[in-house]
Amino acid sequence: MKRMADVGEVALLRRLCRRLPGRPDVTVGAGDDCAVVRPDKRVAFDWLLTSDPVIEGIHFTSGTPLAGVGHKALGRVLSDIAAMGGEPLWALVDVVAPPDRPARLLDDLYRGINRLARRTGTAIAGGDLSAGTSLELHVFGVGRVPAGKAALRSGARPGDRIAVTGRLGGSIGGRHLRFAPRLREGAWLRRHATAMIDLSDGLATDLRRVMEASRVGAVLEGESLPVSPDARRLADARRTALDHALFDGEDFELLVTLPAGRANRIMAEWKRTQRTPLTLIGTVTDRVGRLELQSPEGRRLIDRMAYEHFR
Amino acid sequence: MKRMADVGEVALLRRLCRRLPGRPDVTVGAGDDCAVVRPDKRVAFDWLLTSDPVIEGIHFTSGTPLAGVGHKALGRVLSDIAAMGGEPLWALVDVVAPPDRPARLLDDLYRGINRLARRTGTAIAGGDLSAGTSLELHVFGVGRVPAGKAALRSGARPGDRIAVTGRLGGSIGGRHLRFAPRLREGAWLRRHATAMIDLSDGLATDLRRVMEASRVGAVLEGESLPVSPDARRLADARRTALDHALFDGEDFELLVTLPAGRANRIMAEWKRTQRTPLTLIGTVTDRVGRLELQSPEGRRLIDRMAYEHFR
């Protein structure tokens, strides 16, 4: 008998997605940061649907401050909406909790959820509360984006420049519980991006997703990567700061590909109008599926496996 | 320290709901079968948002056929949409599963999900797959209803007649894994109902929710209740078939209140056009919070506590 662990998340999802019932009003189904639906042609917006789990022992350890866990649960969904260039509207929150936990647990979770919801103009429109064996949040979010304008993973072309917001690596030091979803940045970048994704599983893994959806390759310039102070602090003999920036999950920054001919003008306009850092870190290539790292010592293949649930 | 179990689901949720961040486009927030939002004034529809968990050990036992579990997970959400009189559009499915389970588990779950989705015109637009300690499905659903026409729990008035679709009790015998969400019935009843709810936690419990939202009381006529064959089969010295019909959960039928003066005409039109049974079972009263059962032996108070998670 093959177990889930033998097959892995990616192969399991790929098999499922081929058979999902659709509707003509679903423009983008499973496989991007959000699904995109267009129910009414007279309306100037497409709608974005997304959901994310946050599970004790998987996405946070017991003992983590619960306001941070609530922040993270809503923040993950808002980061997905940001990655499409969208604006968040409504969210539902399902909580699963063991009955012997303190009743104030919910107050703590919702302190983090409500604060981030208010800050981003998101309504918490409902949800559910159920007993279970571990503490979990499942957040469902709805956003919108001007019709036909959602940024997808699939539009990157050879020659495009690759850029990321913020600084990468070491999110586990605390940023994963208090990051600001890049909503304003995503809405700005969508107007220029050929592809966009949020960095939830690490730069190398999420860039691979863009490469796969766009059927391209990529070269990253090691010396250009905006390595975070957290990544530098975590660096030791076993793992360099660059290694953290490449592979650590939960940065919740945006990765974007920009048309080569306009990249410099876009970067200049960004610097004039935005405060969040945006850094050019590499180039899209036509070597499909090949992810390379350029450093002063030369060019080498990045072939480390991505993090997978069930592995 | 007060535990979740000491406070109970109802009190926990009530405390939370007072503080949830809203938006002007949220017409009905947490507390009905679905949230109602109005995404655009130019559109003739309101949207319905709802979510439900289905958790091993809580909503099904291990060993339950997984296609049935998938059916139930999507069916619960569709039943919520039916209870507002809505039409389902899109759903997202988050699955949590222990890594050592068989990989074909997902195929089995999705056989049930996809079949019900196709039958009801619902698109499965995405979702998530995560490792965890127990098997769980969290389904998020979006539906629509003509603007301003969603049936709520809060409109019942003293004198209204109470009716239910189908037959009640003993769902645990198998119906809870293969019920047909009452979508067509809900869309029909919405045009006449003063209030509507789906029966997920048992007739007495769910009728109490309508009573509380509408600030009314109710009298049920014991001899009129449409008791299911399953409830009769389960009946023994300890619990009568009527007891099963009153208190068993997961019937997923609709309970509706109808204006007294038009109830007979509505029932006659129903009989002419619909095949599902619809039965008058009682009357709304002005004795707020008081739920009574009328039988040949007289009238008695139904004061048994509702099922609560965490108790």
Measured in angstroms, the CA of A298 and the nearest CA of chain B are apart by 38
B128 contacts A26? CB cut-off 8 A: no
In this predicted structure, the answer to whether residue A18 has a pLDDT above a threshold of 90 is no
Between A25 and A10, the higher pLDDT residue:
A25
- Report the mean per-residue pLDDT for chain A: 94
Stretch A80-96: mean pLDDT: 97
Q: What's the pLDDT at B208? A: 96
Interface predicted TM-score (ipTM): 0.94
Q: What does the alpha-carbon distance between residue A275 and residue A182 come to, in Å, rounded to a whole number? A: 12
Q: What is the dihedral of CA A162, A168, A169, A171, to 10 degrees?
A: -130
Stretch A139-164: mean pLDDT: 97
Looking at the structure of chain A, the number of domains it has is 2
A144 contacts B22? CB cut-off 8 A: no
A282-294: pLDDT as tens digits: 999 999 999 999 9
- Which pair of tokens denotes residue A197? 């994704």
Structural domain contains residue B155: no
B198-245: pLDDT as tens digits: 999 999 999 999 999 999 999 999 999 999 999 999 999 999 999 999
Structural domain contains residue B291: yes
Structural domain contains residue A197: yes
CATH number at residue A109: 3.30.1330.10
- How far from B72 is each of A138, B104, B139, B181, CA to CA, in Å? 18, 18, 10, 10
Q: What's the pLDDT at B40? A: 80
Is B175 in the same domain as B46?
no
> Phi, psi at residue B24, to the nearest 5°?
-65, -25
Structural domain contains residue B173: yes
Is A213 in the same domain as A257?
yes
Is A99 in the same domain as A228?
no
Stretch A34-45: mean pLDDT: 90
CATH number at residue B297: 3.90.650.10
Report chain B residues whose CB lies below 8 A from the CB of A30: 124-127
In this predicted structure, the answer to whether residue A37 has a pLDDT above a threshold of 70 is yes
- Which pair of tokens denotes residue A174? 């605390």
Structural domain contains residue B19: yes
Beta carbons within 10 angstroms of residue B225's beta carbon: 22
> Which of A30, A43, A134 minimises the CB distance to B125?
A30
Is B169 in the same domain as B223?
yes
Report chain A residues whose CB lies below 8 A from the CB of B35: 90, 92, 125-126
- C-alpha dihedral sign at B54, B59, B62, B65: negative
Q: What's the pLDDT at A215? A: 98
> Which of A43, A55, A309 minimises the CB distance to B43?
A43
Q: What's the pLDDT at B311? A: 60
Is B11 in the same domain as B129?
yes
Contact B182, B198 (CB under 8 A): yes
Is A255 in the same domain as A190?
yes
Report chain B residues whose CB lies below 8 A from the CB of A92: 35, 49-51, 140
- Which pair of tokens denotes residue B213? 């939202």
Is B121 in the same domain as B206?
no
Is B131 in the same domain as B165?
no
Contact A159, A217 (CB under 8 A): no
Q: Which of A146, A171, A205 is the last residue of a domain?
A: A146
Is A140 in the same domain as A165?
no
Report chain A residues whose CB lies below 8 A from the CB of B37: 89-90, 123, 125, 142
> Which of A4, A20, A132 minimises the CB distance to B99?
A4
> Which of A29, A50, A128 minimises the CB distance to B52?
A128
Q: What's the pLDDT at B13? A: 83
DSSP state of A289: T
Please give the residue of chain B at the shortest CA–CA distance from A57. Answer: B132
Beta carbons within 10 angstroms of residue B17's beta carbon: 14
Structural domain contains residue B285: yes
Domain containing B218 equals: 161-301
A50 contacts B126? CB cut-off 8 A: yes
B147-179: pLDDT as tens digits: 999 999 999 999 999 999 999 999 999 999 999
B111-136: pLDDT as tens digits: 999 999 999 999 999 989 999 989 99
Structural domain contains residue B153: no
B86-104: pLDDT as tens digits: 999 999 999 999 999 999 9
Structural domain contains residue B306: no
pLDDT band at A166 (very low <50, low <70, confident <90, very high): very high
pLDDT band at A230 (very low <50, low <70, confident <90, very high): very high
Measured in angstroms, the CA of A41 and the nearest CA of chain B are apart by 10
Measured in angstroms, the CA of A6 and the nearest CA of chain B are apart by 8
User: Which of B66, B120, B138, B201 is the best mutation test for A, with the most CBs of A within 10 A?
Assistant: B138
Report chain A residues whose CB lies below 8 A from the CB of B40: 40, 43, 45
A136 contacts B140? CB cut-off 8 A: no
pLDDT band at A306 (very low <50, low <70, confident <90, very high): low
User: Which of A47, A52, A94 is the best mutation test for B, with the most CBs of B within 10 A?
Assistant: A94
Q: What does the alpha-carbon distance between residue B271 and residue B149 come to, in Å, rounded to a whole number? A: 23
pLDDT band at B310 (very low <50, low <70, confident <90, very high): low
Q: Give the pTM.
A: 0.96
Measured in angstroms, the CA of A112 and the nearest CA of chain B are apart by 12
Residue B144 belongs to what H/E stretch? strand B136-146
Measured in angstroms, the CA of A253 and the nearest CA of chain B are apart by 20
In this predicted structure, the answer to whether residue A65 has a pLDDT above a threshold of 90 is yes
In this predicted structure, the answer to whether residue B255 has a pLDDT above a threshold of 80 is yes
Q: What's the pLDDT at B308? A: 62
Measured in angstroms, the CA of B279 and the nearest CA of chain A are apart by 30
Q: What's the pLDDT at A308? A: 63
In this predicted structure, the answer to whether residue B309 has a pLDDT above a threshold of 80 is no
B13-41: pLDDT as tens digits: 888 888 899 999 999 998 899 999 998 88
Q: Which of B146, B179, B198 is the last residue of a domain?
A: B146
Is A175 in the same domain as A285?
yes
Report chain A residues whose CB lies below 8 A from the CB of B132: 53, 55, 57-58, 134, 136
User: Which of A13, A140, A309 is the best mutation test for B, with the most CBs of B within 10 A?
Assistant: A140
B51 contacts A126? CB cut-off 8 A: yes
- Which pair of tokens denotes residue A124? 């918490």
Residues 6+ apart with CB under 8 A from A193: A85, A151, A155, A256, A257, A258
A37 contacts B89? CB cut-off 8 A: yes
A58 contacts B21? CB cut-off 8 A: no
Is B140 in the same domain as B272?
no
User: Which of A1, A3, A4, A52 is the best mutation test for B, with the most CBs of B within 10 A?
Assistant: A4
> H/E/C letters for each residue in A101-141?
CECHHHHHHHHHHHHHHHHHCCEEEEEEEEECCCCEEEEEE
Q: Residue B114, class by beta-carbon neighbours within 10 Å (0-12 exposed, 13-18 middle, 19+ buried)? A: buried
Is A57 in the same domain as A177?
no
